[in-house]
Amino acid sequence: MDISIRQLGVRYGDVNALRGVDLEIPSGELLALLGPSGSGKTTLLRAIAGLEPVDSGQIVFGKQDATRLSVQERRVGFVFQHYALFKHMSVLDNVTFGLRMRGRDTRPPNDEIGRRGRELLELVQLGGLEDRYPNQLSGGQRQRVALARALAIEPSVLLLDEPFGALDAKVRRELRVWLRQLHDDTGYTTIFVTHDESEATELADRVVTLDAGKINTQAQPAALA
């Protein structure tokens, strides 16, 4: 789905976290938001998800103005920096949570939910770990559970906050390659936040640099084909 961000402004008290951000993200693009901490990149990601109240401007999903839509209505797949897996649920229950929370009219039958959960776990290469609990997984495995959970709701857009921030260098590199592959296979519009320039340029179709709440047009690294 195309995402349009128009003159977006977010304030925290006296601080302008975002100051008139304009951004067009065509459907299927893998976009990196690059910037130092405090540049507003995570705020922008959270604003797109509906987790951060917006003070001015517009967020458009496809043809629909999503600015005033609730988090639930936006149906974004959000992968949190520390994964935010549900500690008291098995891996499978984590992944199927979004499906199980659907209203009675749109919720698939239980065996269908279980089947889709297992499919997604196969997709993120965690088949066989359905009954584990998050605290029994490695960092890289948790990351992939979080991703499978976000994909389960067939999101309008996939948003990842510092997806590799908490992982060691080796796992980081493997996951990067794998995530790129996954994106090409599934075709979801994907936005991820990072402060690592090489990670951004290596992984993304396009890199947007944020600085002090604005898009820094001077600092754009060359786009990758």
Partner 1 sequence: MSSRRALSEPRAIRWLLIAITLAFLIVFLLLPLLIVFTQALSHGLGTFLRSFGDADTLAAIKLTLITAAIAVPLNSIFGIAAAWAIAKFDFRGKNLLITLIDLPFSVSPVIAGMVFVLLFGRQGWLGPWMAAHDIKIIFALPGIVLATVFVTFPFVARELIPLMQAQGTEEEQAALTLGASGFRTFWHITLPNIRWGLLYGVLLCNARAMGEFGAVSVVSGHIRGLTNTMPLQVELLYNDPGAYSAAFAVASLLALLGFVTLALKNFLEWRHGDELAALRGRT
Please report, for residues 32, 89, 101, 108, 128, the alpha-carbon distance to residue 41 in angstroms, rounded to integers and kept in the order given: 10, 31, 29, 36, 36
84 binds partner 1 (CB under 8 A): yes
In the complex, minimum distance from the CB of residue 218 to partner 1, in angstroms, rounded to a whole number: 33
Q: How many CA atoms lie within 13 A of 166 on its CB side?
A: 16
Give the count of residues interacting with partner 1 (CB under 8 A). Answer: 26
The window from 36-44, 117-125, 150-158, 188-196 that contacts partner 1 (CB under 8 A) reads: 150-158
In the complex, minimum distance from the CB of residue 46 to partner 1, in angstroms, rounded to a whole number: 9
Sheet holding 15-25, edge to edge: 15-25, 3-12, 56-61, 64-65
In the complex, minimum distance from the CB of residue 89 to partner 1, in angstroms, rounded to a whole number: 8
Q: Which of residues 159-218 bind partner 1 (CB under 8 A)?
A: none
The window from 2-10, 19-27, 96-104, 195-203 that contacts partner 1 (CB under 8 A) reads: 96-104
For residues 110 and 88, give the distance between their C-alpha atoms in angstroms, rounded to a whole number.
20
Decide whether 85 or 179 has the Cβ nearer to partner 1: 85
Q: Residue 53, exposed/middle/buried by CB under 10 A (0-12, 13-18, 19+)?
A: exposed
For residues 205 and 201, give the distance between their C-alpha atoms in angstroms, rounded to a whole number.
8
* Neighbour-count burial for 182-218, b at 16+ CB within 10 Å, e otherwise: bbeeeebbbbbbbbeeebbbebbbbbbbbbebbbeee
Among 30, 34, 41, 98, binds partner 1 (CB under 8 A): 98
Site string for partner 1, 26-65 (x = CB under 8 A): -----------------------x-x--------------
The window from 14-22, 37-45, 149-157, 166-174 that contacts partner 1 (CB under 8 A) reads: 149-157
77 binds partner 1 (CB under 8 A): yes
1 binds partner 1 (CB under 8 A): no
In the complex, minimum distance from the CB of residue 212 to partner 1, in angstroms, rounded to a whole number: 24
Give the three-class secondary structure for 124.
Answer: coil
